[in-house]
Structure 1
Amino acid sequence: MTGSKTVLVLGGTAWLGGAVARHAAAAGHEVTCLARGRSGSAPPGARLVAADRSRDSTPDPYAALPDQDWDLVVELTWQPGFAVRALTALSDRARHWVYVSSGSVYADQSVVGGGQDLPLLGALSSPMADGEVYGEAKVACEQAVAVARGADALVARSGLIAGYGDPSDRFGYWVGRCALAAEDGGPLLVPERTDRGAQVVDVEDLAAWLVHAGLAGRTGTVDAYGPRRTLEEVIAAAEWLTGFAGPRVEATDEDLRAHGVTEFMGPRSLALWMADEAWQGFATHDDHSAVAAGLVTRPLAETTAATLLWERELGLGRTGRRAGLDRDDELDLAARIRGRRRSAGLP
């Protein structure tokens, strides 16, 4: 095919990696995904090379790849050992290299509107990491790219990713919960402060840009964030889409903490709620470098609609979410908070 390029996605079966592979294949490129295949299959039009990049399980996970050069390699790992090994094996055969990093590399997350002038965390010295040092591990991966490629690579520090297929349950909590509340007629528990940041980038927009920018030879570091938004905008979009018109029960930060609700993500959290002053910049990041690099983002309503489809597939009333409250727990908390406020003579 005229104009077809060879694209290798290190991953390519999980969420963002799968979207990158799908966009590249849809554009007519020859796409190979190197992955274990446990998270799913390669998207239509892409070839899966099954390999485990763990040092203990596979002596040479790249041996099964075709002996060829690649127009673009897209790497998503957060394990420094994986990043180093991939660069050692493939960098000399890759015309362009894209590393998908994270805004978690920044050491100071308190600055609203902060950007690339913020200091970075120290790099993890171990080749393998756990989730407690995710940001430090991503810094180490970035450093490995710099050592192997110099300035000849694109490092995309992504913000929170949202959209259809989101495994984190974070952005999806609000549209899923509004849909469920519209069905059962109950109230919606929300933070009193909804003016804080809730910044996301749609997975489809990010994936399409990674492929396009990578093949175009863009280099340097880009903060691949979506537009700055507030939690109120996210909730309002969810309410509008689902037709939820019931009451909100507003809970102060103190109310939520007193009832053991955690911030942002995790079991028994209120998704995207961020009260800690040390994290007020996490979802209010400067997106100017993304815009300048050509990252085009769709309207919030489209991301919300795609996410609602995914939430319905998973089940609106499911329990044990990765982020958010179970509905029964939410209703109980809302009743207790509303009752306490009434007893105190508050609206």
Structure 2
Amino acid sequence: MRNVLVLGGTAWLGFEIAEQLLASGDAVTCLARGESGQAPAGAVFVPSDRRSPGAYAAVANEAWDEVIELSYDPAMVRGALDALADNAKHWTLVSSVSVYATNTDAGAEESAPLLKPVDLNDYGQAKVAAEQVSQKALGNRLLIVRPGLIAGPGDGSDRFSYWVGRFALAGEGPMLSPIADDRVVEVIDVEDLAIFIAQAGKSGITGAINATGNQHALADVLALCADVAGFTGELVCVFDERLIEHDVRFWAGPRSLPLWVPKTDIAFAQRDNSAFRAAGWKLRPLRQTVQRTLEAERELGLERERRSGLSRSEELELLDQLRLG
């Protein structure tokens, strides 16, 4: 039985990772404030504010077969390394494909240039800084996992879930979409990613790995979401220029069309994942992820306020404006 410490473990991905570790027979400890939720049943929960002095005192003297770090705050990452690195056989840092300097080269591998960590308020740059300090402290004991778009129940960003939820809400009514034929989506189910991270630690995998899913045309993803949701209305596809004129935003956040990115950044969703596949990559069919997501969306409420996307009233108003214009 391995002894594993998850720095987090109470929120979405961290909780899934802890559950997968427990399912595989590991002894799991989750260290977190606990404000995002509870650790899974069977895990030892250590409440701690990682910004406070002595944050790791309860776990610092224990030998860890694996430590899993999810933070993008370099100060937190550095503090954990100072307290725990000497007693850890293997360390996994969950990073992001947002660390890359450009999104212009389709099929770029893990060796592609990274951002310069100048502004640590920027998510991608902060993740680069976290990678660098971890590499310096751990050397060949470190696995850096760089996920792309993650989907599935519990996703608080609403980026992927917006579409299947909106198709279900629209029903027979109209829906607004970007011109999607020339866009691409790479998506991985949160449970599949968690399984990979749990197994990679057992296998002692090190280095950097793009943990991204298969590439799908955005048009195909939207068609799948519409089919799963039972949508029978009209999908109104609009060119980028007109959407931008009406203050519709890219990718995520309020008044956005999620997953829609500028044409100059299409390669953001075309990262090479051959190292991931070689390391034992497994990915469920996308339809299953969409179905899982829709079930969660119905439980949360299709008309709820979202972190990303247009409200239904904003969307219908925009459709009227676009038709008149």
**Per the shorter chain, which TM-score range?**
over 0.9
* Higher mean C-alpha displacement, 109-118 vs 24-33: 109-118
- Structure 1: gaps spanning 5 or more residues: 341-347
CA shift, 1:66, in A, is 6.8
Partner of 1:113: 107
Cα separation, 2, equivalents of 1:124 and 1:11? 26
Deviations 1:263-293 (A, max 9, x none): 010100001111241x211112212121111
Partner of 1:101: 95
CA contact (8 A) 2:18 2:28 kept: yes
| 1:156 aligns to 2:145 (yes or no) | yes
Cα separation, 1, equivalents of 2:162 and 2:230? 16
Name segments (4+ residues, structure 1) moved above 6 Å: none
Partner of 1:21: 18
CA contact (8 A) 2:4 2:27 kept: yes
* Higher mean C-alpha displacement, 21-30 vs 263-272: 21-30
Partner of 2:125: 136
* Higher mean C-alpha displacement, 225-234 vs 11-20: 225-234
Cα separation, 1, equivalents of 2:45 and 2:86? 22
Of residues 69, 76, 94 in structure 1, which corresponds to 2:70?
A: 76
CA contact (8 A) 2:60 2:84 kept: no
CA contact (8 A) 2:9 2:31 kept: yes
5 Å-filtered alignment, 1:160-175, equals 160-175=149-164
CA contact (8 A) 1:26 1:45 kept: no
Amino acid at match of 2:247: G
Partner of 2:43: 46
Partner of 2:324: 339
Partner of 2:274: 288
CA contact (8 A) 1:205 1:296 kept: yes
TM-score, length-normalised on structure 2?
A: 0.97
Partner of 1:343: none
5 Å-filtered alignment, 1:219-238, equals 219-238=206-225
Cα separation, 2, equivalents of 1:241 and 1:282? 26
Partner of 1:86: 80
CA contact (8 A) 2:12 2:154 kept: yes
Cα separation, 2, equivalents of 1:270 and 1:236? 15
Partner of 1:199: 186
CA shift, 1:65, in A, is 2.2
Cα separation, 2, equivalents of 1:326 and 1:142? 37
Of residues 145, 151, 173 in structure 1, which corresponds to 2:134?
A: 145
Of residues 287, 294, 314 in structure 1, which corresponds to 2:300?
A: 314
Cα separation, 2, equivalents of 1:152 and 1:66? 18
Partner of 1:344: none
Cα separation, 2, equivalents of 1:218 and 1:117? 17
CA shift, 1:124, in A, is 4.1
Cα separation, 1, equivalents of 2:123 and 2:314? 30
CA contact (8 A) 1:249 1:338 kept: no
CA contact (8 A) 1:228 1:287 kept: no
| 1:31 aligns to 2:28 (yes or no) | yes
Cα separation, 2, equivalents of 1:328 and 1:45? 44
Amino acid at match of 1:238: C
TM-score, length-normalised on structure 1?
A: 0.91
CA shift, 1:137, in A, is 0.8
Q: In percent, how many aligned pairs have the same letter? A: 48
CA contact (8 A) 1:179 1:242 kept: yes
Q: Structure 1 residues 11 and 62 mapped into 2: Cα distance closer, same or farther (>3 Å)?
A: same
Deviations 1:152-186 (A, max 9, x none): 2111111111111001000000000010011xx21
Aligned-partner SS, 1:323: coil
User: RMSD of aligned C-alpha atoms?
Assistant: 1.3
Cα separation, 1, equivalents of 2:301 and 2:322? 27
Cα separation, 2, equivalents of 1:248 and 1:339? 17
Partner of 2:169: 180
CA shift, 1:338, in A, is 2.7
Deviations 1:47-89 (A, max 9, x none): 11000111xxx21110122732111110011011111111111
Cα separation, 2, equivalents of 1:167 and 1:275? 23
Amino acid at match of 1:235: L
| Number of aligned residues | 325
Aligned-partner SS, 1:86: helix
Cα separation, 2, equivalents of 1:78 and 1:188? 36
CA contact (8 A) 1:124 1:139 kept: no
| 1:330 aligns to 2:315 (yes or no) | yes
Deviations 1:206-236 (A, max 9, x none): 0011011112111111011111112112211
- Structure 2: gaps spanning 5 or more residues: none
CA shift, 1:136, in A, is 1.0
Amino acid at match of 2:50: R
Cα separation, 2, equivalents of 1:30 and 1:66? 16
